[in-house]
Amino acid sequence: MTARTKAAPQGQDRIPKPSQGWYRDPVTGVKLRRVTTILDQGCSKAPLVFWSANFTAQTAIDNLPQLIASSRTRQEREETYDWLRKAHIRRKDERADVGTAVHRLIEAHVLGTPIPADLLNDEELAPYVDNFLAFVRDWEIEFEASEMVVGNYEDGYAGTLDYLYRSRLIALLLKVPVQTLFEGDTKTGGELDVKGVYAEAALQMAAYRRAKVCWLRDGTQLPMPAVHSTGIVLHLRPEGYRLIPVECGDEVFAAFQHIQKVAEWTSGLAKTVLGRALQLPAVQVAA
């Protein structure tokens, strides 16, 4: 092997990893669009727009004295304006941090590995752990996979599903065989009595369900196992949890494919269709 020849990826290095909206297959070099990026670019965000406006308004009401005091000078007004307009971004980032930490805790539990040291004694996360363990115990959950990368080369996308599992009680409620494999997803936003699970979850889970291949932890690529057309979202909150069944069958997958086309428009052709404003020619054209 020459100095310029790269060794073939081995073990976990064979698993595609997300980067800038893509998953790149390190073995073939093929790039697959990230499912969450497709949804960000092609799916309506109307609920998020209203949430952002409401949260900004509530932040302003809660900080009226500060807002009034900051109106005295131009610099203070500009600083306060900048702080206020980014209120929803800070809140979203905070929730994203919690969601990421919870997923790491769940992954450690499913795989039977030690809980990451930076999360071990986090009092804010303790209720999430307790409620997740209650979910596992209450519904007799038997996990098959966690944080598993899946891909569809034909449709050009990939993503990382939260987990696959079997549950005797869920199977009983849905009137399917006990050994039925379910796709699970965890959401930590909102409140238990307020929306925290949105229809977009169905699109994401449908895309994962219709993946063609998946990668095991050792880097082995296998065909995607058959998963039931009803996915289960675990809405996990400090005050408790609830299970939301989500339809993610063929009709929902067809909707995802449509959204994928919209995302291609948004990220590609839409950026090229507008030309520069026309200017009158310097010399008038004869009629």
pLDDT tens for 89-112 read 676 556 667 778 888 888 888 888
Q: Is residue 7 over pLDDT 90?
A: no
pLDDT score of 4: 53
Contact 151, 16 (CB under 8 A): yes
H-assigned helices in 15-167: 35-42, 46-62, 64-69, 74-85, 87-111, 117-120, 126-138
Residue type present at position 132: F
CB atoms near residue 19 (< 10 Å): 10
Residue 163 inside a domain? The answer is: yes
Burial of 160 (0-12, 13-18, 19+ CB in 10 A): buried
- Kindly report which listed range (94-98, 125-129, 196-200, 271-275) carries the lowest average pLDDT score: 94-98
Q: What CATH number does residue 143 fall under?
A: 3.90.320
Residue 70 inside a domain? The answer is: no
Mean pLDDT, rounded, for 47-53:
70
pLDDT score of 169: 98
Locate tokens 């009226």: which residue? 64
Alpha-carbon distances of 248 from 63, 175, 194, rounded to whole Å: 43, 17, 22
What is the chain's Cα-based Rg? 24
Residue 72 inside a domain? The answer is: no
Residue 78 inside a domain? The answer is: no
Q: Is residue 142 over pLDDT 80?
A: yes
Residues of the domain holding 138: 12-43+86-267
Mean pLDDT, rounded, for 102-127:
82
Residue, of 233 and 46, whose pLDDT is higher = 233
Mean pLDDT, rounded, for 207-219:
96
DSSP β-bridge partners for residue 26: none
Q: What is the pLDDT of residues 166-189, one digit of tens each?
A: 999 999 999 999 999 999 999 988
Q: Is residue 75 over pLDDT 90?
A: no
Q: Is residue 114 over pLDDT 70?
A: yes
Task: Provide the whole-model pTM.
Answer: 0.83
Residue type present at position 7: A
Residue 68 inside a domain? The answer is: no
Residue 32 inside a domain? The answer is: yes
Alpha-carbon distances of 210 from 160, 214, 254, 277, 285, rounded to whole Å: 13, 11, 10, 45, 59
Residue 230 inside a domain? The answer is: yes
Q: Is residue 217 over pLDDT 60?
A: yes
Q: Is residue 242 over pLDDT 90?
A: yes
Domain count of the fold of the chain: 1
pLDDT score of 151: 98
Q: Is residue 44 over pLDDT 50?
A: yes
Q: What is the mean pLDDT of the chain?
A: 88
Residue 51 inside a domain? The answer is: no
Q: Is residue 284 over pLDDT 70?
A: no
Q: 157 pLDDT band (50/70/90 cuts)? A: very high
